[in-house]
Amino acid sequence: MKLKKAFGILLVLALAAFWMINSDVTPRAAAFELTQLTVKASSTKNVKVKVKWAKSKKASIYRIYRSKAFKNEPFFGLSNKKLKYKKIKTVGSSTTKCTDSGLKFKRWYVYKVVAYKKSGSSYKKIGTSDFTIYTGPDTVMWDEYLYADGYISPSRIDLTMYYGGQGMNSSGIEIYRKETGGKYEKIKTIKRDKESYCATYQDESVVTGTTYKYKVRSYKKVGGKKRYGQWSDVMTKRAVTQNGSFAATYLDPASGESVDQLLIQVDSNSETGDLKFTSERLYPYDDPDGFNFFKVYYSTDGQATWAAVSYDEPLVLKTKESVVLKLVPQEWIYDSTTGTGYAKDTTYNVPTDGFTLSTSHPIYYNNVISDCELAISADNTGTLGTSIAEEYVH
């Protein structure tokens, strides 16, 4: 959890920096820097951007350029030819700001300031700095960790959103939601907290086991009317348990005996999400070196046919479905003469007090990488449980 908190702090600091400069592009040169782009609009026909930069002691003049208007955010690294820069002003060395007007509403622009030093009768370029700005209400983005560890339960889904700091300071956020096959409906309007870069919402109107798609946008009054920013990406979440816990039953138990296979039935209920089991091996906790393991097979047709689990052909367990796992004990044999190894079928002495097996590598629970453990107690029942692996969250 310490690693997760550290990443969270870094994210907030980075977003704070973006918000302060209203931009998402890092200056290319250290000679001087653009420090702020501010959008103001009294109406959709009267949009202005105030450009500010840090003074360079060596500069004699500054030339300010603006790209063409883009409907979508331009990719970093676009050539000047594609950006189609237009010079909007030339100012002297004592000036470090200018205002650009006549811009289109809800468009993306790239501003570039170039510093020049006078050399004889000509001017020599000594530095360039550029930033991107959006001339609509502020962009909104999801917390980057939300796909992995945003809180979910059968009765609640938590959402966290950040203001991107790339447009006009918006008044708040509207949250829209839909179920699979349905239409988006607005479920909440959140007024902006001017002291915070983020907003949170707990959706407690969810139905257990249902998958929802969320999208958000900011809003602001411009010219006396409510105007909206661009839509965020779509966030898909399901109202199920945060970590999966699937009921497991040891079939044909043989506690205290030596067996050549274990049959385990795994059942999913309405509160568990989708399990994508990609691990072809399970390892007993009492063999940390991994020289003994279980090859994993599964059957979904009452044990009539079996298929081996692999990353390319995973076992997928949906809500309210059941599957039978066949675990075949194997021993890894190393041939020192050839320097190679191979797996050989063996037997397993079933402990009388139960057993615990773990996956050889993480699997997927609700499309998030998770650790997985199969635990069977002395009464031959147990769970196949998942938990988000800390190192795979980010």
Alpha-carbon distance 63 to 138, whole Å? 27
Q: Decide: helix, strand or coil at residue 384.
A: strand
Band of residue 32 on the pLDDT scale cut at 50, 70, 90: low
Which residue intervals of the chain are DSSP H helices? 2-21, 80-83, 146-149, 390-393
Sign of dihedral through CA atoms 48, 53, 59, 60?
positive
Alpha-carbon distance 92 to 95, whole Å? 6
Please choose, from the candidates 170, 162, 166, the residue with its C-alpha nearest in 3D space to the C-alpha of residue 219. Answer: 170
Give tens-digit pLDDT for 253-301.
Answer: 998 999 999 999 999 999 998 999 999 999 998 765 567 999 999 999 9
Q: How many helices (H) and strands (E) does the chain have?
A: 4, 31
pLDDT the model gives residue 27: 39
Contact 144, 188 (CB under 8 A): no
Q: Give per-residue burial for 68-79: e unless 16+ CB within 10 Å, then b.
A: eebeeebeeeee
pLDDT the model gives residue 90: 96
**pLDDT at 9 exceeding the cut of 80:** no
Contact 309, 328 (CB under 8 A): no
**pLDDT at 147 exceeding the cut of 60:** yes
Q: Both tokens of residue 5?
A: 């908190």
pLDDT the model gives residue 101: 94
**pLDDT at 5 exceeding the cut of 80:** no
Q: Where are the beta strands (DSSP E) in 223-261?
A: 225-228, 235-238, 245-251, 258-259
Alpha-carbon distance 53 to 313, whole Å? 56
Which residue intervals of 24-128 are DSSP H helices? 80-83
DSSP element (H, E) containing 302: none
pTM value is 0.77
Give tens-digit pLDDT for 234-244.
Answer: 999 999 998 88
Mean pLDDT over all residues of the chain? Answer: 87
Q: Both tokens of residue 101?
A: 């007007």
pLDDT the model gives residue 287: 67
Band of residue 144 on the pLDDT scale cut at 50, 70, 90: confident
